[in-house]
Structure 1
């Protein structure tokens, strides 16, 4: 089944326009999720909306939004009033300018989306916009209305499509000064820096997401499988951290340790694409009484 688009509209560069669809590029639905239960009965916990003072349950039709001026003093805002000021989507991502990717502060990045042509028409125009962005090695900046709010979106070419990343507004980004002001000014000696650089060179590689494992997700799956099998759960001994007394000595020991872990000759990469098991999509194997071994999905659906 084809994924469902989060938004459909048009992508426009000056007079060149094409219909496009927007899809979420990331998902956390594969992660293990939990329900809250009553320890005594094993039943799920149900949440009710109640009046904070009277404790009485309040129906949805009697609930309005409120902006708190100060404690216990609110300005009520109705759904109709919010609808009046909601931005009406033009259903168009208008490219306003092109910038260097290095100029976009990573703190402004929110979440990525995939853009592709919507339907059978407009592929030519889409390809022109995509290849222009690719050839110019720029990021296209535009605007899109999602859920009645205006968002800045940065577009980059990826394979046959585009990746659009929503950006934050300046007022959403906190200044680093209040966090960094109290960091002490430390003079780093050349010897320390040379040793640290040597460690970096020994550990240098390419960014390959497939080799990273979500160890917590793996541990959760193992824990659930052990509990389903009725096995006792024994806490593991946690490693203790050590205080660094002699920084120079710690750097020297680090260089030696890294040298021992680096293989003499790096193995050649296979040209064949192997299917890697991504953590979070790990199969949970558990025999059920009276049945053969079955494969369970990694995510435990609430219902």
Structure 2
């Protein structure tokens, strides 16, 4: 099922206007997530909105926004008052200017969205705006209101649609000099730089995000599968810290030797096969606890982690199933 649009309105370039819809270009819903539960009962934890002074729970209708001006002093602002100052960009993305993409500092980038025509009308106007931006080889800068706040959005062609990237305002970007001033000026020798360049060349590759693997996510899935199968979890021994101190030049030389000795270092990296499309929903990712294959997998994992004298698997308490 297609995701819901975050925003619907109009895209306008001077007098050319078309209805559009804005969709999030990224998602974290496929990541393993946890709920907080009561260890004693296995019940899920709920949060209540309470008055900080009286401790009494407050109904949603009685909760309003307030701007803090002093200790325990707030200026109340109602929804109606906020609607009064609503900007035109609440319903329209007005293209104000066109700039080179290289002019946009990466620190100003927030998150990407997909912009598409909304409905059956307006496709011609949308195509005109899209191809105009493409022909200029620039990025269109406009304004949009999301979650009651106005944002700057940079629009650029992506296939048949537009990609819109929210941008930060200057006051949201911290001055790097506050952090970099204390970095010492160090003179690097040519030999060190040459060795470092060789290491970089050994590790150079094409940018292929489909080859990226979320190792922590995989470890989480494996942990949950083991617990569902009733496998005893044995804590890993903490890695021992090494106290060997070597010079920077020695470290560079050893790094280069390690890269040269790595399997396939002398040959160009073969393109990895694209992984299968991930199944939507983390429930499908996890190993079923019924079925012959699941039982065999659980037994093999248990044998590998338990002592020779096998004991009955320790099953998770029944109450943990209530956490969903």
TM-score by length of 1: 0.87
**Taking structure 1 as reference, are residues 205 and 130 closer, same or farther at Cα in structure 2, changes over 3 Å only?**
same
Distance 1:278 1:196 in 2: 41
Matched, 1:131 2:139: no
Aligned to 1:52: 52
RMSD: 2.9
Alignment deviations for residues 163-197 of structure 1 (CA, whole Å, 9 cap, x no partner):
00011111111111211111122111111111111
Structure 2 equivalent of residue 30 of structure 1: 30
Say how many residue pairs are matched: 296
The residue number in structure 1 matching 2:285 is 283
Q: CA deviation at 1:265?
A: 2.8
Q: Residues 220-239 of structure 1 correspond to what in structure 2 (within 5 A)?
A: 220-239=220-239
- Alpha-carbon distance in 2 for matches of 1:174, 1:27: 27
In the aligned structure 2, how far is the partner of 1:248 from the partner of 1:164? Answer: 46
Moved more, 92-101 or 257-266: 257-266
Segment of structure 1 superposing worse, 6-15 or 202-211: 6-15
Q: Give me the whole-angstrom Cα distance separating, in 2, the residues matched to 1:54 and 1:269.
A: 64
| Contact 2:139–2:156, Cα closer than 8 Å, also in 1 | yes
The CA deviation string for residues 217-238 of structure 1, in whole angstroms up to 9 with x for no partner, is: 1111111111111111112234
The separation in 2 between residues aligned to 1:250 and 1:280, in whole angstroms, is 44
- 1:100-249 mapped onto 2 (5 Å cutoff): 100-240=100-240, 242=242, 245-249=246-250
Task: Point out the structure with the larger strand share.
Answer: 1
Return closer, same or farther for 1:182/1:152 CA change in 2, 3 Å cut-off.
same
Gaps of 5+ in 2: 296-320
Q: What residue in structure 1 maps to residue 314 of structure 2?
A: none
Which whole-Å CA distance do the structure 1 matches of 2:129 and 2:18 have between them?
9
Q: Which has the higher helix share?
A: 2
